[in-house]
Amino acid sequence: MMKFVKLAAILAAGAVAMGSVANAKTLRLNHNNPEDHPLHKSMEHMAEKLEEATGGDLKIRIYANAQLGTQRESMELMQNGSLDMARSNASELEAFEESYGALNLPYIFVDADHYYDVLSGDIGSDILAASEDKGFVGIAFYIEGARSFYANKEIHSPADLKGMKIRVQPSPSAIRMVELLGGNPTPIAWGELYSALQQGVVDGAENNPMALTSARHGEVSKVYSNDGHTMIPSVVMISSKTWNELSDEHKQALTKAARESMDFHREQWDAMSAAAVETAKTELGVKFIEVEKGPFIEAVLPMHQEAAEKSAVVSDLIDRIKASAPQ
């Protein structure tokens, strides 16, 4: 019933958008973050650039706070052509396109510059294009910094995770990583995580520091242990059906606007992330600790070999990513 209601809302929104300007096409983009989040602002930037480039002939209307469905629902609606665009992340997309699995491996990027070079170069382009026959095409990566563990206890080593129920995204890589570190991986939807932390359904979670403020997780988790295990980007996608209906000129304009928004996003992310850390410390009382990453790296390194053995596509991407690292 809920899926029917959301689908009806999407179709109604589409009818309003299509009727607004007779010759203009408005793409509907759904995501699960609030409107003050850097991701939303970057998508707004993309929409502005696209409208400007096409003289208003092609627009994007952005629906924040999962108005048109959860990330999983958005993917399914987009794949069948009921929704034009969605924002998810590489962790969840691994279940839809194996190429994204290479980006989810812990400690595969040596630093933030290596991470962005991969996303904005040929490797990133190949991953974005790999899913067209699966119902969607990636058009942009948005960085989200490094992810670390947060809970109500300090996590200095994998031994501290033993027996802890850690919320993870529904991603094989995320589940395997927490298993290797000794924790109990527990997939929970993003919108349910605050209450799960509050009620003790899970003992902790893992994400970038922005989660402490934008989702208010710092109210119920008071220690952020900065192990920086993964750098998992968000991905903006368009339905293959919608993509194939666009003219070549509109495809080029959308691709260019998406690429420009990637750079815009990177510029604003670092500043807003730093502000989030300060807010988490001063207003929410979150304690940030630095940890020795060596034991974490050693514990999860087998994942690289496991992933390479499981998929020739991922194996090739792993080799390319590592070869592109600064020497």
Q: What are the backbone angles phi and psi of residue 169, rounded to the nearest 5°?
A: -75, 160
Cα Rg, the chain, nearest whole Å = 20
Q: What would the pLDDT profile of 247-257 be if each residue is shown by its tens digit?
A: 999 999 999 99
Strand partners, 324: none
SS3 (DSSP) at 71: helix
The mean per-residue pLDDT over the stretch 225-237 comes to 97
Q: Is residue 19's pLDDT more than 70?
A: no
Token representation of residue 48: 């502005």
* Angstrom distances, CA of residue 128 to CA of 7, 103, 118, 219: 26, 12, 12, 36
- Kindly tell me the burial class for residue 285, based on how many C-beta atoms sit within 10 Å of its own C-beta (0-12, 13-18, 19 or more): exposed
Helix axes 122-129, 312-323, angle to 10 degrees: 160
Q: Could you give the residue ranges of the DSSP H alpha helices within 32-89? A: 38-53, 71-79
Tell me if 258 sits within 8 A of 235, measured CB to CB.
Answer: no
Q: How confident is the model at residue 24 (pLDDT cuts 50, 70, 90)?
A: confident
> Rounded to whole angstroms, how far apart are CA atoms 74 and 22?
26
Tell me if 181 sits within 8 A of 124, measured CB to CB.
Answer: no
> Rounded to whole angstroms, how far apart are CA atoms 306 and 102?
11
Cβ-count burial 7-40 (b if 16+ within 10 Å, e if not): beebeebbeebeeeeeeebbbbbbbbbeeebbbb
Q: Is residue 124's pLDDT more than 90?
A: yes
CB atoms within 10 A of CB 247: 12
In the chain, where are the structural domains located? 89-327
The mean per-residue pLDDT over the stretch 267-282 comes to 93
| Superfamily of segment(s) 89-327 | Bacterial extracellular solute-binding protein, family 7 (3.40.190.170)
CB atoms within 10 A of CB 272: 17
DSSP assignment, residue 160? G
This prediction has a pTM of 0.87
Q: How confident is the model at residue 327 (pLDDT cuts 50, 70, 90)?
A: confident
Q: What would the pLDDT profile of 42-66 be if each residue is shown by its tens digit?
A: 999 999 999 999 999 999 999 999 9
The mean per-residue pLDDT over the stretch 193-209 comes to 97
DSSP assignment, residue 37? S
